């Protein structure tokens, strides 16, 4: 190419470049600020096209350490480059899934009377101790006072033997025992040198602890024989002193276990929020000291609800059926309407064994006709659909994995274990649920509203996924919010929204989200999202009320530290699924208007006036307890029959390990 040709080519390239730059600048004048930023970035890339590739962007300074619970650093994400600045890697933190703890049972310590001094601890009557309300505290009311015969008190003669006792107990129990006997200076379980009859009744109660799902060995005591050598009074006093402290320690353990549970729930995982402290060991001792019937008093610590009674009754029934022959369906069975399959008869046999009474009464004739059937005909299909509906499954008439899992007889041992876990978990909750309350059982994917002891409203729910588990806790419903906005949880911002925001600055605005910093609404474009992603700054994101809002048309609030509530959802199809652990932790209601009307104690039709564009909160006339629970075995509200559910969060295994650790620790120190 000659000099003239090169000049023409250079001139042509300059003209093309000027035209391209002009076109980009023209476009930026007609675009929004976000689009203009994108166009400017393209222009910058155009200008840099022929720059040497050896120029490297400086690395991003390391992010400061962020003390954030449940946080972890994720692989670098590439943000959208801004004008004049090449893209650089960003460190992102994410909120981790639920943390499971290594359960630690209570340490056992010696009940130590070594510093006991008769002169410093003269017996006194405690008259200023407040009375405890049995409903609010979880403790039974004070029993009648029994008469005491001071002449038979051998406490003084046994002081030195008390100092030598070697009884191990939980620290709060050990401290309460020393405190009580120092103040009262009398034995509870002996009359003179004889074991009192109430002591034998209490020991008999402990021997039957298995009926309440407890381990009798953890409360076992050896009663001194009625016959003894009266010439060797010191040996008798020693045995009575050992027995006195051991029985008292086991009585307190029994009261606490029955009243609050053997296991401290909050030590299992961070997904448990169930406070303890309703049963005070010293208060229990004060009441035992004046009880006419100490065994009945201790038994009264167990929950007295119909739920507990039905679980206990079912436990006794299972204990009598350990050798039952189980009906099994062949693995991989799939039976569609019209199919011929030898497993049809086994399906019918299982329904006859497991279905509730009202279902059997309705379909008894059809089931009886098909006890030996091999053809899955229309009459049986209709009965199966009805069973699927009652079991909370999709009533499609297909006998597949989900239907078989609800029918398949588990071993008696597995069922028994689930009932034991249910009885233990029930002890964690207040023993009086109240006259009106809402009960959500996560493994059942079910929410129920009760009034006057009767189920009034029930519906399917969606709960948290295994990664975003719903907590196990209880609180009180205070408010129903109509046309709600949604404050996006930090975990969703960091885990799910941040990659979209970093790639697309206009993402939030297009989807109806508002951004807040320091309590003030700010443009999304003004936020340094790199710092937010790295955990170096915080931001609030709110989705405004709309038909597409993630909370639908209402939410029901019971303020708690976990940001969990019940709400509507635009994703109605989820309620048709068998496995409904799909949310980020909140509880999505299948029929939110029915639940809202129930807690507000108004007709459903009266809610129509609240729906519109503006967010509005309505206080419930009376705060209602709500129990966000976890039971893989639970009585049917209408029949009392125990229903079994999948352990969706694998919490049964955690509880089983904690129970075994507790047993080993207690028996090793007996």
Give catalytic residues, as residue numbers: 567, 586
Q: What CA–CA distance (Å, rounded) separates 99 from 94?
A: 14
Q: How many CA atoms lie within 13 A of 499 on its CB side?
A: 7
Contact 312, 318 (CB under 8 A): no
**Per-residue tokens: 602:** 């108004």
**Per-residue tokens: 209:** 């602890």
- Apex 662 CA angle, 200 and 655, nearest 5: 120
95 beta partners: 71
**Per-residue tokens: 550:** 């993630």
The DSSP 8-state label assigned to residue 330 in this structure reads: P
Residue 642: Cβ-neighbour burial (10 angstroms; 0-12, 13-18, 19+): buried
Q: What CA–CA distance (Å, rounded) separates 32 from 37?
A: 9
375 beta partners: 340
Residue 191: Cβ-neighbour burial (10 angstroms; 0-12, 13-18, 19+): middle
- Per DSSP, the three-state class of 475 is strand
Give me the residue label for tokens 């309440």: 212
Pairing of β 540-543 and β 581-583: unpaired
Closest-CA residue to 143 (of 287, 302, 248, 295): 287
Contact 392, 446 (CB under 8 A): yes
Q: What CA–CA distance (Å, rounded) separates 325 from 120?
A: 66
């Amino acid at each position: 190419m000659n000099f003239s040709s090169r000049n023409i080519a250079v001139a042509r390239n300059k003209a093309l470049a000027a035209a391209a730059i002009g076109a980009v600048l023209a476009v930026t004048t007609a675009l929004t600020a976000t689009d203009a930023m994108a166009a400017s970035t393209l222009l910058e890339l155009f200008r840099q096209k022929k720059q040497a590739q050896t120029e490297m962007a400086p690395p991003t300074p390391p992010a400061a350490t962020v003390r954030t619970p449940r946080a972890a650093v994720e692989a670098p994400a590439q943000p959208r480059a801004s004008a004049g600045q090449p893209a650089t890697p960003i460190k992102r933190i994410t909120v981790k899934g639920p943390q499971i703890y290594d359960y630690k049972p209570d340490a056992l310590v010696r009940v130590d009377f070594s510093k006991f001094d008769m002169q410093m601890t003269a017996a006194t009557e405690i008259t200023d101790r407040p009375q405890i309300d049995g409903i609010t505290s979880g403790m039974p009311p004070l029993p009648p006072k029994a008469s005491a015969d001071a002449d038979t008190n051998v406490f003084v003669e046994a002081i030195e033997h008390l100092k030598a006792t070697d009884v191990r107990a939980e620290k709060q129990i050990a401290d309460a025992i020393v405190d009580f006997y120092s103040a009262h200076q009398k034995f509870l379980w002996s009359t003179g040198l004889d074991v009192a009859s109430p002591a034998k009744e209490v020991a008999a109660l402990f021997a039957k602890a298995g009926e309440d799902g407890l381990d009798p060995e953890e409360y076992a005591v050896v009663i001194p024989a009625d016959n003894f050598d009266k010439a060797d009074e010191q040996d008798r006093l020693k045995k009575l002193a050992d027995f006195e402290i051991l029985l008292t320690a086991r009585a307190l353990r029994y009261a606490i276990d029955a009243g609050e549970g053997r296991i401290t729930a909050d030590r299992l995982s961070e997904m448990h929020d169930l406070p303890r402290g309703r049963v005070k060991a010293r208060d229990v001792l004060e009441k035992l000291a004046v009880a006419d019937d100490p065994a009945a008093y201790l038994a009264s610590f167990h929950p007295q609800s119909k739920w507990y009674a039905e679980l206990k009754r079912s436990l006794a029934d299972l204990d009598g059926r350990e050798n039952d022959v189980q009906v099994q369906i062949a693995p991989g069975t799939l039976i569609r309407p019209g199919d011929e399959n030898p497993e049809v008869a086994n399906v019918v046999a299982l329904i006859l064994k497991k279905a509730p009474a009202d279902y059997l009464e309705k379909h008894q004739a059809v089931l009886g006709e098909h006890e030996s059937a091999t053809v899955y005909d229309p009459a049986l299909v209709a009965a199966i659909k009805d069973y699927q509906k009652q079991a909370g499954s999709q009533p499609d008439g297909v006998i597949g994995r989900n239907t078989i899992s609800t029918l398949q007889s588990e071993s008696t041992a597995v069922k028994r274990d689930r009932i034991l876990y249910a009885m233990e978990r029930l002890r964690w909750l207040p023993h009086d649920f109240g006259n009106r309350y809402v009960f959500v059982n996560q493994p059942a994917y079910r929410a129920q509203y009760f009034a006057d002891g009767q189920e009034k409203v029930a519906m399917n729910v969606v709960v948290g996924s295994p990664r975003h588990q719903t907590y196990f806790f209880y609180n009180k419903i205070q408010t129903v919010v109509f046309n709600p906005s949604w404050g996006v949880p930090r975990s969703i911002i960091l885990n799910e929204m941040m990659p979209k925001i970093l790639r697309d600055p206009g993402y939030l605005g297009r989807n109806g989200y508002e951004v807040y910093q320091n309590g003030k609404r700010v443009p999304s474009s003004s936020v340094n999202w790199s710092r937010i992603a790295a955990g170096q700054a915080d931001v609030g994101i709110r989705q405004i009320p709309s038909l597409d809002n993630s909370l639908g048309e209402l939410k029901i609030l019971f303020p708690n530290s976990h940001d969990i509530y019940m709400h509507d959802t635009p994703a109605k199809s989820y309620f048709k699924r068998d496995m409904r652990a799909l949310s980020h932790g909140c509880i999505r209601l299948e029929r939110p208007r029915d639940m809202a009307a129930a807690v507000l104690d108004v007709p459903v039709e009266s809610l129509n006036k609240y729906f519109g564009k503006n967010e509005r909160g309505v206080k419930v006339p009376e705060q209602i307890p709500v129990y966000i629970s976890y039971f893989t075995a639970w009585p049917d509200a209408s029949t009392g029959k125990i229903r079994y559910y999948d352990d969706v969060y694998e919490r049964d295994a955690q509880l089983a390990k904690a129970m075994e650790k507790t047993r080993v620790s207690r028996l090793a120190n007996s």
